[in-house]
Chain A
Amino acid sequence: MDKLLTVEFWQMGGYALYVWGSYGAALLVFVWNLLAPYLKQRELLSRETRDQRS
């Protein structure tokens, strides 16, 4: 884990832009996949309770 604190690790042998760009893109895809259905489900469930009340 000490490796995380070295500059060399984050430089990725000069490929930092490409390696971290790829991992960053993956993070975006994962976050979107988690958030989008979660928010949608909240909206669907609240719409349903609203419909039931009226």
Chain B
Amino acid sequence: MTLWTWLKSLTSPPIFFALAQRLGFWFGLISIPLLAYGLIGGLLLAPPDYQQGEGYRIIYIHVPAAWMSLFIYSLMAAAGGIALIWRIKVWECVLTAAAPIGASFTALALVTGMLWGKPMWGTYWVWDARLTSELVLLFLYVGVIVLQQSIADARAAARACALLAIVGFVNVPIVHYSVEWWNTLHQGPSVTKFGKPTMDASMLVPLLVMTLGFMSFFGHVLMRRVQNELLSRGEISRG
């Protein structure tokens, strides 16, 4: 089987449904040790911060959630592009299935950010560029979800969602670079900097492992949601 026929077979709903079953299983399985190590590393092994003491441990939830919020949206924009250009149903399903998961991670990034801001900045919320653009990201996710639910025809709904996902992608680099382009209360990047990250390995490793755990957990729940999309569209019949 050539690569091309293999890739093409992935666009068939029944084949993708079976693949999602297997992939979802493995994603779920590897997420367990990754999340467990991330939790132990972040809460027990990593030393307290010299400025923020134990309070900085919020980072092990906040940063992976925020990264996921950007990653999932980028995936949705890419899926939207594929769905619009090649009209592949499976990718329409990926797009609409990812939206609620992305919205939940964005909300988690915002809530943990507020819980971190209160003790360290003295306020839950400021309208600085990072916080505001992340809130806009949440609205974009909600927009995709509402748009999908408001159009009865699944394919027309997915096309509209794809357009919104692609147009809204403009916001993703704005979120990422907001801390450099504007004067924000939010700190600059400490991991994704050129050269050396400004975090010690004892703190950084649990953060990266936790992020991998978030990613594989996302893979697990995305696969299940894509299956549900295919089922509810009547693309899969069991029997």
Contact = CB atoms under 8 A, between A and B. Distances in A.
Interface residues of B, number: 34
B231 A22 contact: no
Nearest to A35: B221
Nearest to A48: B238
Interface stretch (B100-108, B159-167, B192-200): B100-108
B53 to A, nearest CB: 4
B112 A15 contact: no
Contacts of B44: 1, 3-4, 9
Given A18-B118, A45-B238, A23 B231 contact: no
Interface of A: 1, 3-4, 9, 12-15, 17-19, 21-23, 25-26, 29-30, 32-34, 36-38, 40-41, 44-45, 48-49, 52
Contacts, number: 85
A36 to B, nearest CB: 8
12 contacts: A9-B44, A12-B55, A12-B57, A13-B54, A15-B53, A22-B58, A26-B61, A29-B65, A29-B108, A37-B225, A41-B227, A45-B231
Interface string B25-67: 0000000000000000001100010000111011001100100
Given A23-B61, A25-B61, A33-B104, 13 more contacts: A14-B54, A15-B57, A19-B54, A22-B111, A25-B108, A26-B112, A29-B65, A29-B104, A29-B108, A38-B224, A41-B227, A44-B232, A45-B238
A30 B217 contact: yes
B217 A15 contact: no
B101 to A, nearest CB: 6
A26 B228 contact: no
B237 interface: yes
